[in-house]
Amino acid sequence: MLTDEQIASIRLFKGVPAPRIRSALQGSDIRHLEPGEVLLAPAMANDTLYLLLDGQLSIHLASPTDVEIRVIEPGGSVGELSIIQNSPPSAFVVAKTSCRVLCVAEDQMWELVDNARGVARNLLSLVADWLRANTWQMAQDRGRMQDLEKVAWLDGLTGLFNRRWLDQALRRKLANAQEDGNPLTFVLLDVDHFKKYNDTQGHQGGDQALIALAQTLSGNMRPNDFAARYGGEEFALLLPNTHRDAGLEVADRLREVVSQREIAMPDGRPLPGVTVSMGLAVSGPDSTPGTLAEAADARLYEAKKSGRNRVCG
């Protein structure tokens, strides 16, 4: 039988006279669990409330060996939610260490709720804690999903948006521009003589040049403009609500800033600077993402053919 001290340590019995608890729990068993032993699982029916006397229990979602989402300390309980909902448990409960649990049958639990003043209030507090813990877990999961989604849209080397993001954004921005009757300027830019740069400075040097270029673009863009890595040493700019003359001005300003950017290896060793060639295209009523990209690519080819380090549009 439980001592007064043990009864007082159990949250469900907080503030409830020990003699009343002891009377209601007559016939309850104490179960010993070894580390790794499964106490509750989603596949099993449950009609027992388990009160943890000592040791630790862990909660797992997908399997008993999955990462734990919560740890139950002495004085805590498990199984009350499945009894209240009359449904199987929603997670695995596993002995994290050697444990002893007091097994309270379903009818005993409801007798305590009905007849022992304070137990119902404590049970509500326990359920609220579970709901709060689940809400916190959902918030954590949502944050992790958002982090993963963010990573999925970003280029791993430069930190700019990647081609996957660009393809979707171009369709969306072009549709918005055509619906509103505003122009969308699309710019493709290519690092001049990048193969030679890689050959002379090594791939790490080439990577540092691309990183510096990306930082220069993102640090000098207008608030509503976007930069993305198109592939390799090619990058793209989306300039919403921008006519050709304004787009040429923005592109040429960025080209000049890039040409002045100092580049260095992570250890501080200086590297040669780079220049870029740019091709610019402006949307029209019949433009598609494909035709806009083709037009910008043709202007980029023209810029490289006519001497590089320039903008054609």
Q: What is the mean pLDDT of residues 129-138?
A: 62
Q: pLDDT by residue (tens digit) across 220-265?
A: 999 899 999 999 999 999 999 999 999 999 999 999 999 999 999 9
What domains lie within the chain, and their CATH numbers?
A: 4-144 (2.60.120.10), 163-312 (3.30.70.270)
What are the catalytic residues? 233
Say which residue, 133 or 174, is predicted with more confidence. Answer: 174
Contact 260, 273 (CB under 8 A): yes
Query: What's the pLDDT at 80?
Result: 86
Which percentage of the chain shows pLDDT scores above 90?
57
- Does the predicted model carry a pTM greater than 0.75? no
The number of residues making up the chain comes to 313
pLDDT at 138: 57
Q: Identify whether the C-beta of residue 279 lies closer than 8 Å to the C-beta of residue 302.
A: yes
* Structure confidence at residue 1 as a pLDDT band (50, 70, 90): low
Segment 61-117, tens digit of pLDDT: 888 888 888 888 988 888 888 888 888 888 899 999 999 998 988 888 888 877 767
In this prediction, residue 148 carries a pLDDT of 44
197 contact partners, CB below 8 Å, separation of at least 6: 191, 205, 206, 209, 272, 274
